Amino acid sequence: MSPSADFQPKIQVFEPHRASLPPVIPYLKEFWNRRSFAIELSRFADKAEYLESKLGKVWLVLNPLLLAMVYFLLVTVIRGGNTKTNGLTTLAHILIGLFTFYFASNCITAGAQSITTGGRLILNQAFPRALLPFSSSISAFQTFLPTIPVYIFVIIIGKIFFPATQVPRLAISFLWVPLIVALVGITGFGLALLFATMNVYFRDTNKLLSYVMRIWLYLSPILWLPSMLHGWHRIALYANPLGPVLSATSNIWIEGKTPTLSEFIGAFAWAAGSLLIGGYFFVSRERDFAVRI
């Protein structure tokens, strides 16, 4: 008997599925057990992205830093005002707001493309597909981490040259930073799941998303202070998925204050809502991805 006689090829057939959730507990267990796969995938993606760049990962910090300087010039210098006393405070607000916004933005934009760009993995490997947007969120977090020391360095240097500027010292409110960062990451991951699913069915989603993120930036409390909104106008702040968490970020880093209860409730609500809605929308349709891509 020839060796080939015992060989029985395994044929995998991909068929359309109706939107329905798989068993949730086994899915979550499998997702957690394979978390190392997402971590390694994010490391590989980071190396591949900056492989041919001479400055390499310096661009992770340089790009948002230069953009913050441009916005600082537009908001402070061109508008006019006392740049010696208020300029550093304005720069600090723009910097930390922009760094935090870009963390969420990178989660969403990279996660939205993760399924369509990971087509070969989906066709050849069996794993929870949510690991792909999760890997993009890990990469976004690794991009965000180096910006914090840069922010602190800029504030220290600015404080030396402009000692009259009111920039908060080390405060107990800084202990809330890990929680705020976690809420930003959860919100970004949840929205990444939503847009990744949309991008599978409507490939123009990724192109429209770049414009959506730009408009979203201007509508967020980055180039303007949350305290500028009063009365019923503050609804616009809490209607923004990143509004409460960016307002809390400003309170911690600029004012040196603990975020308000309404900011915590808004940030938690958007994080939980984004994760639940995005997770349901993604997981209930992920068995259909192999057919669509």
Interatomic CA distance for residues 136 and 111, integer angstroms: 5
Is 48 among the domain residues? no
User: Looking at the predicted structure, is the pLDDT value of residue 123 above 80?
Assistant: no
pLDDT value at residue 261: 93
Is 6 among the domain residues? no
Interatomic CA distance for residues 96 and 250, integer angstroms: 8
Is 162 among the domain residues? yes
User: Looking at the predicted structure, is the pLDDT value of residue 237 above 70?
Assistant: yes
User: Looking at the predicted structure, is the pLDDT value of residue 44 above 80?
Assistant: no
Q: What is the mean pLDDT of residues 287-292?
A: 78
Report CA torsion sign: 122, 123, 127, 128: positive
Closest CA to 267 of 200, 198, 179: 179
Q: Which amino acid is at 209?
A: L
Q: What is the mean pLDDT of residues 258-265?
A: 92
Closest CA to 289 of 63, 122, 169: 122
pLDDT value at residue 6: 57
Q: What is the mean pLDDT of residues 239-256?
A: 91
User: Looking at the predicted structure, is the pLDDT value of residue 84 above 80?
Assistant: no
Domain count, the chain: 1
Interatomic CA distance for residues 51 and 31, integer angstroms: 29
Average pLDDT of the chain, as a whole number: 81
Q: What is the mean pLDDT of residues 131-151?
A: 89
Is 74 among the domain residues? yes
User: What's the chain's length in residues?
Assistant: 293
Interatomic CA distance for residues 150 and 105, integer angstroms: 19
Q: What is the mean pLDDT of residues 205-224?
A: 89
Is 13 among the domain residues? no
Q: Is the Cβ–Cβ distance between 104 and 249 less than 8 Å?
A: no
Exposure letters 210-247 (e unless 16+ CB within 10 A, then b): eeebeebbeebbbbebbeebeeeebeebbebbbbbbbb
Is 5 among the domain residues? no
**Domain membership of residue 267 as a residue range:** 22-41+55-292
Is 62 among the domain residues? yes
Is 12 among the domain residues? no
Residue 231, helix vs strand vs coil: helix
Q: Which amino acid is at 217?
A: L
pLDDT value at residue 85: 47
Q: Which two tokens stand for residue 1?
A: 């008997």
